[in-house]
Amino acid sequence: MKFFIPVIASSLALTAFSGIANAQDMTRNNSGFYVGGSYGYLKVESDDDFDDNNDVTQGIVGYRLNSFLALEGSYIDFGRYGNSTANASTTGYTAALKGSLPITQTVELFVKAGQLWHETDYNIATISDSSADESLFAGAGVDFKVTENLLLNAQYTWYDVDLKVDNVSSDSEFETDFNQMSVGAEYRF
């Protein structure tokens, strides 16, 4: 019995040390710049004729402050959506705060929230015009490390976009949500 106590204590100590070493490795300072891009599906939900499904593309640049926090900016093209009577196209820039939680050495979960500055060109019947506005957004996803620097990801992002339409009977603002589901890649320097 006296023989088993040191063996069990040694096993527990090695397990604890191994866990601490892995935790330190996952939380080491991973600061630095990164670039990326994504392609995905956009669902436009609105209280007007702009409801539609579409492709969305996005280019991303960011800076990781550490393993858990990053500042991120992007250019995003939501494409053209709507129907033959009323259609629009929206592009914009984002700024976000991104939080990451490493789960394993190769998988991390992330959430992000920020501001979207967007411009929309729209056509309603014979009227064409454009509007610019800003909106809030939030998203969540998962990163998969392919190499130390290259990651693949999947994410869902919700944008609270209000489309402002002028010169149509009266000035109007339509409550619109953009729901983006996309896959992408990120390269960390």
Range list of H helices, the chain? 4-27
Which amino acid appears at position 70 of this protein? A
Per-residue pLDDT reduced to its tens digit, 46-89: 665 555 778 999 999 999 999 999 999 999 999 888 777 778 88
Q: In 3D, which of 45, 106, 49, 55 has the Cα closest to residue 76?
A: 55
Q: Which residues contact 185 (CB under 8 A, 6 or more apart)?
A: 36, 37, 38, 150, 151, 152, 153
Q: What is the mean pLDDT of the chain?
A: 82
Q: In 3D, which of 54, 117, 116, 119 has the Cα closest to residue 90?
A: 119
Instruction: Summarize the confidence of residues 138-154 as an average pLDDT.
Output: 96
Per-residue pLDDT reduced to its tens digit, 9-53: 455 444 444 444 444 454 455 899 999 999 999 988 866 555 577
Q: In 3D, which of 154, 161, 145 has the Cα closest to residue 25?
A: 145
Q: What is the pTM of this model?
A: 0.77
Mean pLDDT check: name the lowest of 53-57, 80-84, 140-144, 173-177.
173-177
Which amino acid appears at position 27 of this protein? T
Report the pLDDT value the prediction gives residue 93, as an integer from 0 to 100. Answer: 97
| DSSP-derived 3-state class of residue 37 | strand
Eight-state DSSP code of residue 189: -
β partners of residue 124: 86, 127
